[in-house]
A and B are shown apart, each in its own frame.
Chain A
């Protein structure tokens, strides 16, 4: 499943856990496990984005424009690219 997951992510325009779950016939939590494992093993890297709660915005009235759910991004590492290339 992990290799398939890596291939899917490589070919996808964006990462949607729901979509990956449907494509690979797995549960979403399973996909999450797989992604975590790929990160742990160094095939993928994840950037959890900026959590607005960490910013000194305090009671700024414009804070609702900030992402309460930080936007996450993924990147296939060199190690991951090497495996994909084979």
Chain B
């Protein structure tokens, strides 16, 4: 006759390794009846005794939540294995014993294979197996399945248990009231003539196990009893409480054992994170600290990017421009190509590329904040404020993403469940100043506010956030009413950013920027260049060109905002294709006119500090780029909302720009 041994354990406890080590090539693979779960069986001969080992699916628990769990527990309860070998990972005894506890509850005859003791030793985790055996009332055998260590002792222990019934089966107590209820239940369940152990059924019933409830509900003899009916109703009413209590008791049982039998190297208590968080997420200090950090980031960006590296790119682009022109002239290239290279590529695309150092530094610093885990704190701090103005806190997560690019920013709103929260988050996301707008601010800062770069950039971002909050509030009071749900944010531990990570980010940043300049921006500039030199016969880059005429139609709208010239108008217009195109377009149209004039210099002549400020605010707030609008259409499922977004942002931007210009003039600014 052959004995049956069931093998159970958590995933990754080394169960498969143990099964293979025990059975060698004596294996048979099939399926459990009715389900797609694989059934593996193998044979072991010891002396003249044959053992059949059944490898049950790896699970953390034996509830009814997955097919794997049900298969495993059904076999243990109704397959009548002579013994159950429970593989326990010695490096994580606490987690693994949760399953062991459930085996004990089932009344199974258990032998524990304390596996991976080699690994535990390496990690200085020591497990007192004798004490563990005593607490569990089951033999515990240390094994190293991967090196076939302890297998013989394990089989011996299993054989012993089969021969001699265990004495003193461990029983869990679930607290007085539940224990009493269980005793009461058991009296009925014993009479129900069910195939399962009544004690286990009782616990599972109180725990609200759907599978067991079905079995009991379908048991005619139980359901015919009026008394049982009353008990049944009582259970249904209290199930949630009991479930938590029972699971909790299991945890306590495991914790108590682990505390006594497992010794780990003293895990440093993470108080540093905690103390840091007390300050960084402080109710009143959190926001000023966040603001201060961002301010320092912008200041540093200018200090390093402009003062140290600023001239580098400008000189480089200038040199590259003259070389390119000489090469083209020498090669006898047609005039239009030389013109296109000079004003389109160098003047247009080059104007954007000049700001690469600043942008790279800015994103490097932002990336550092992100990698260190601080951004989660920032989101948390903002979350509090958003809640105070009645917005769903998680919205800020999508807003932070929007600082990079509004396309993923809008997509990030997917994590908001309610339509109200989501629509608001989508509509205010474009106010988060995206990375592509940075060159615009940088040109105007270089022209008018070179000593206050950090402050100006900081103010622009803050203004964007304020407008977003304001509009969010307005929308939640008008278009989308309803309740906001309450979420609790998780703050991950702080980490030290690695040099490799930082360098990789920088490289991604630079290469990505070049790729974008070479594709999207190049395409937009080429198209606009054609419009700027046609029709033939008119002065290129002049008001008579197609581009000029388009600009002249739009320009009057911006008169009250102080920048009613056609170049600024087409610049803004082209920004709807891609925001970098604003600078590229300005660079191209001015370079063409002045014969390679430096953009910053021209801007200084055409704009005033006041109109520069109103232009910057306009670009911050106005209509999002086509890609973002497309995403809004897709995410909201309606072109109507994309159109709404395009128009209302434009209206707000225009009003703000006009306000700034007109109020500034009242105060005598120009």
B405 proximity list for chain A (CB < 8 A): 57, 60, 62-63, 65
How many angstroms from the CA of A73 to the CA of B491 in the assembled complex?
A: 9
Give residues 473-496 of B contacting A (CB, 8 Å): 485-493
Give the residues in chain B near A33, CB-CB below 8 Å.
Answer: 94-95, 98
Inter-chain contacts of B511 with A (CB < 8 A): 59, 61
The reply to whether B487 and A41 form a contact with Cβ atoms under 8 Å apart is no
Chain B contact residues: over half helix, strand or loop, or mixed? helix
- Contact B367–A64 (Cβ < 8 Å): yes
Confirm or deny: B22 has a beta carbon within 8 angstroms of a beta carbon on chain A.
no
Q: How far is the CA of A41 from the CA of B250 in the complex (A)?
A: 14
Residues of B within 8 A of A83 (CB): 240-241, 244
**Contacting residues of chain A (65-86) with chain B, CB-CB under 8 angstroms:** 65-69, 71-76, 79, 82-83, 86
Given contacts A55-B408, A65-B404, A73-B490, contact A82 B509 (CB under 8 A): no
B375 touches A67 (CB 8 A): yes
B316 at the interface (CB under 8 A from A): no
A73 vs B380: C-alpha distance in the bound complex, in angstroms?
10
In angstroms, Cα B376 to Cα A66, docked, is 12
Bound Cα distance from A12 to B268, whole angstroms? 23
Of the listed residues B243, B245, B252, B485, the one surrounded by the most CB atoms of chain A closer than 10 A to its CB is B243
- Beyond A49-B397, A59-B508, A64-B505, whether A15 also contacts B248 by CB under 8 A is no
Asked if A65 and B370 make an inter-chain contact with CB atoms under 8 angstroms apart, the answer reads yes
Q: Flag if A64 contacts B255 (CB, 8 Å).
A: no
A-B contact count (CB 8 A): 184
Interface code B355-397, partner A: CB below 8 Å = 1, 0 otherwise?
0000100011011001101011001100010000000001001
CB neighbours of A69 from chain B (8 A) = 373, 376, 492
Q: Which of B240, B281, B379 contacts A79 (CB 8 A)?
A: B240
List B80-123 residues whose CB lies under 8 Å from chain A.
Answer: 92, 94-95, 98
Q: A64 to chain B: which residues have CB within 8 Å?
A: 363-364, 366-367, 370, 404, 505, 508-509
Q: B397, A67: Cβ atoms under 8 Å?
A: yes
A1-39, CB under 8 A of B: which get 1 and which 0?
111001001001111111101100011111001100100
Instruction: Tell me if A74 and B251 are in contact (CB < 8 A).
Output: no
Contact of B401 among A13, A19, A28, A67 (CB under 8 A): A67
Measured between beta carbons, the chain B residues less than 8 angstroms from A60 are 404-405, 512, 516
With A49-B397, A61-B359, A68-B371 known as contacts, the answer to whether A43 contacts B95 (CB < 8 A) is no
B435 interface contact, C-beta 8 A:
yes
| Given the contacts A14-B281, A27-B94, A2 and B370 also touching, CB distance less than 8 Å | no
B599 within 8 A of A: no
Shortest distance between the CB of A23 and any CB in chain B (Å)? 10
Instruction: Give the docked Cα–Cα distance between A29 and B91 (Å).
Output: 12
Residues of A within 8 A of B363 (CB): 61-62, 64-65
How many Å lie between the Cα of A1 and that of B92 in the bound state?
A: 18
Once the chains bind, are A15 and B270 in contact (CB under 8 Å)?
no
A65 to B27, CA, bound (A): 52
Docked-complex contact A55 and B490, CB < 8 angstroms: no
Q: Which of B149-157, B219-227, B409-417 contacts A (4 or more CB under 8 A)?
A: B409-417
The answer to whether A21 touches B270 (Cβ under 8 A) is yes
Which B residues are CB-close (under 8 A) to A79?
Answer: 240
Set of chain B residues within 8 Å of A37, measured between Cβ atoms: 247, 251
Instruction: Say whether, besides A14-B380, A60-B405, A67 and B489 are in contact (CB < 8 Å).
Output: no
CA distance A17 to B379 in the complex (A): 17
Give the nearest-CB partner of A40 in chain B: B65
Nearest to B513 among chain A residues (CB) is: A61
Q: How far is the CA of A40 from the CA of B247 in the complex (A)?
A: 12
* Complexed CA–CA distance, A62 and B491 (Å): 23
Instruction: Scan residues 258-282 of chain B and give those whose CB is less than 8 A from a CB of chain A.
Output: 264, 267, 269-271, 273-274, 277, 281
Residue from B273, B398, B489 in contact with A15 in the complex, judged by beta carbons closer than 8 Å: B489
Is A2 a contact partner of B516 (Cβ separation < 8 A)?
no
Whether B491 lies near A34 (C-beta < 8 A) is: no
B435 engages A62 (CB within 8 Å): yes
The smallest C-beta distance from B136 to any residue of chain A, in angstroms, reads 19
Contact B394 A15 (CB under 8 A): no
Q: Is the CB of B240 within 8 A of A82?
A: yes
Q: Say if the beta carbon of B515 comes within 8 Å of chain A.
A: yes
The interface residues of chain B lying within 8 Å CB-to-CB of A59 are 508, 511-512, 515
- B434 interface residue, CB < 8 Å from A? yes
Given A71-B397, A73-B489, check contact A2 B241 (CB 8 Å). no
User: B95 touching A29 by the CB < 8 A rule?
Assistant: yes
Q: Are B491 and A41 in contact (CB under 8 A)?
A: no
Q: Would A43 and B244 be within 8 Å (CB), given that A33-B95, A74-B487 are in contact?
A: yes
B residues near A22, Cβ cutoff 8 Å = 269-271, 274
How far in angstroms is the closest Cβ of chain B from A74? 5
Contacts of B281 in A (CB 8 A): 13-14
**Residue pair B435, A61 in contact (C-beta under 8 Å):** yes
A73 touches B394 (CB 8 A): yes
Chain B residues lying within 8 Å of A15, measured Cβ to Cβ, are 488-491
A71 adjacent to B243 (CB under 8 Å): no
Bound complex: CA of A66 vs CA of B369, how far in Å? 12
Question: Which residues of the partner chain B approach A12 to less than 8 Å between Cβ atoms?
Answer: 488
- Give Cα A43 to B415, complex, Å: 20
Query: Closest residue of chain B to A71, judged by CB?
Result: B397
For the complex, what is the distance from the CA of A29 to the CA of B95, rounded to whole Å?
A: 9
- In the assembled complex, B174 has its CB within 8 A of some CB on chain A: no
Query: Which residues of A sit under 8 angstroms from B401, Cβ to Cβ?
Result: 50, 52, 65-67
Most buried by B among A2, A12, A30, A61: A61
Interface residues of B, Cβ cutoff 8 Å to A: 61, 65, 92, 94-95, 98, 240-241, 243-245, 247-248, 251-252, 255, 264, 267, 269-271, 273-274, 277, 281, 359, 363-364, 366-367, 370-371, 373, 375-376, 379-380, 384, 394, 397-398, 400-401, 403-405, 407-408, 411-412, 414-415, 434-436, 485-493, 505, 508-513, 515-516
19 residue pairs of the A-B complex, CB under 8 angstroms, read A12-B488, A14-B491, A16-B273, A19-B277, A22-B270, A27-B264, A50-B401, A50-B408, A50-B411, A59-B512, A60-B405, A60-B516, A63-B405, A63-B508, A66-B404, A67-B401, A74-B487, A74-B490, A82-B240
Known contacts A16-B490, A61-B363, A64-B364; can you find 14 more A-B pairs with CB under 8 A?
A15-B488, A17-B490, A18-B274, A28-B270, A50-B415, A57-B405, A63-B508, A64-B508, A65-B400, A65-B401, A67-B397, A69-B376, A69-B492, A83-B240
The 8 closest A-B pairs by CB, nearest first: A65-B404, A61-B512, A62-B404, A62-B435, A18-B270, A61-B513, A72-B490, A64-B367
